[in-house]
Amino acid sequence: MRVTQRVKRILANYEGENPGTKGNLARILMHGKLGGTGRMVILPVDQGFEHGPARSFAPNPDAYDPHYHYQMAIDAGLNAYAAPLGMLEAGADSFAGAIPTILKMNSANSWATEKDQAVTASVADALRLGCSAIGFTIYPGSEYQFEMIEEIRELSEEAKSVGLAVVVWSYPRGGDLSKDGETAMDVTAYAAHMAALIGANIIKVKPPTAHLEQPEAKKVYEKEGVDISTLSKRIAHIMQSSFNGRRIVVFSGGAAKDTEGLLNEIRSIRDGGGSGSIIGRNTFQRPREEALALLDSIIKIYQGKA
């Protein structure tokens, strides 16, 4: 399929990047059932690192096998598959060229007593495994936020110099942030903006609630009458905060909810102009056929067919 006008307009926003990085963004944007629409659905499987294998895969034991996820992402017609080093290595040869991959470069685990992550891969790994992008989590607000930001800065510079794209998971936590604050409107917008500022090509945040965490920010939102009354308005504000829509922003599935709740959330992301979804647990913790059906429903929503 030809690179569409829609995708070309998106690529044109990345005017600081070299053609290699744009080409890899194009690969992701042009792949799968949403290829060419400017929307994307990505399958991330780093849950095993974060929560351990049983909590991740016991509900659907086929998912213990790394090949399962590659195949799922391909069969569902997703845009890309993101995972830590070992998961990608375990299928990189069998699925060479089959789907754009994103090497998740850092990970935490359930036992961490500090809000930090370990770097577990290199840009050279991403190249030899044929990845299109690197992925990296930052925790704005944590006591390690500056170290994390400096790590991704270095990795990002290296990755972009060799034509890879950079995906940043921007998850505020720690410091004075309340639990509710982690998904507050102002905090999420801030997290997305910060990711854009450090050069992220694709930004991942959680769908924001209407909560406003920071008093100073609250005053402004109220004074200026920023409309954050519905999720789609809030999504639109996130896009606005991400260089007025010049950056791709994808949203995670958020808190566990029923399927209809999830699909309505997707509709709001779409209506708010969000770039798409990154759906992990909601995918691989269901039986394969159910997961494929769910992903198809999500894709239809982004296609404007549902």
Interacting residues with a copy of itself between 115 and 134 (CB under 8 A): 116-122, 124-125, 127-131
Beta bridge partners of 277: 41, 251
Nearest-angstrom CA–CA distance, 146 and 9? 33
Nearest-angstrom CA–CA distance, 242 and 28? 19
- Output the six-digit token pair for 270: 């779409």
Segment 36 to 65, residues that bind a copy of itself, using CB under 8 A: 48-49, 51-55, 57-59, 61, 64-65
Q: Which of 204, 219, 233, 300 is catalytic?
A: 204
Closest distance to a copy of itself from the beta carbon of 116 (Å) = 6
- Output the six-digit token pair for 220: 């402004």
- Output the six-digit token pair for 269: 């992301």
Closest distance to a copy of itself from the beta carbon of 264 (Å) = 25
Site string for a copy of itself, 67-106 (x = CB under 8 A): -------x---------xxxxxxxxxxxxxxx--------
Instruction: Give the alpha-carbon dihedral of 88, 139, 262, 278, to 10 degrees.
Output: -30
Does residue number 306 form part of the binding site for a copy of itself (CB under 8 A)?
no
> Which part of the chain contacts a copy of itself (CB under 8 A), choosing from 144-152, 257-265, 275-283, 296-304?
144-152
Spacing of C-alpha 181 from chain mean position:
20
Closest distance to a copy of itself from the beta carbon of 112 (Å) = 7
Options 6, 19, 178, 227; binder of a copy of itself; rule CB under 8 A = 19
* Nearest CA among 41, 175, 163, 171 for reference residue 106: 171
Nearest-angstrom CA–CA distance, 202 and 181? 23
Segment 212 to 231, residues that bind a copy of itself, using CB under 8 A: 214, 216-217, 220-221, 224, 226
Options 5, 6, 9, 161; binder of a copy of itself; rule CB under 8 A = 161
Nearest-angstrom CA–CA distance, 263 and 107? 28
- Output the six-digit token pair for 297: 């429903």
204 is catalytic: yes
Closest distance to a copy of itself from the beta carbon of 2 (Å) = 7
Segment 249 to 288, residues that bind a copy of itself, using CB under 8 A: none
- Provide the residue count of the chain: 306
- What is the 3-state composition of the chain as percent helix, strand, coil, each rounded to the nearest 5? 45, 15, 40
Cβ–Cβ under 8 Å, residues 238 and 249: yes
Site string for a copy of itself, 174-193 (x = CB under 8 A): xxxx--------x--xx--x
Closest distance to a copy of itself from the beta carbon of 306 (Å) = 24
Count the residues of the shown chain that bind a copy of itself, applying the rule CB under 8 A. Answer: 114
Active site residues: 204
